[in-house]
Amino acid sequence: MARMVLTICRLEKVVHSCNINFYEHSSFYDIECIGRGSFATVLSARFNETMFALKCHDISKASKECANELKQLCAIKFHPNIIQFYGITQA
């Protein structure tokens, strides 16, 4: 339980320090699972007629690596081989 609280606090700190946009999960539709990993599931979804990839982390398994990934995605404004990062949502 303490590890989960630490992970959530770490994620909240990154969200605030990087000024990450938050999107309501209910705004996404046509949601389909396209892949699963050890601590996340990747979904395809539509938002305002645009297709997005949603990466859903399992908070009980996510760790500082998740927070580091968020920081790195925020730092990359554009790269041809990396999907653009727009923000986060909570299911």
Residue 25 domain flag = yes
- Domain span at 70: 2-75
Residue 39 domain flag = yes
pTM of the model: 0.74
Print the SS3 string covering 26-67.
HHCEEEEEEEECCCEEEEEEEECCEEEEEEEECCCCCCHHHH
Residue 90 domain flag = no
- The pLDDT of residue 33: 96
Residue 51 domain flag = yes
**10-31 mean pLDDT:** 87
Total domains, the chain:
1
Residue 66 domain flag = yes
pLDDT at 19 over 90: no
pLDDT at 47 over 80: yes
Residue 80 domain flag = no
Q: Does 55 show up as a binding residue in the annotation? A: yes
Residue 8 domain flag = yes
Asked if 54 and 89 touch (Cβ cutoff 8 Å), the reply is yes
Instruction: Tell me the per-residue pLDDT of 67-80, one tens digit each, with 9 for 90 and over.
Output: 888 888 888 888 99
pLDDT at 50 over 90: yes
H/E element holding 9?
A: helix 2-17
Residue 9 domain flag = yes
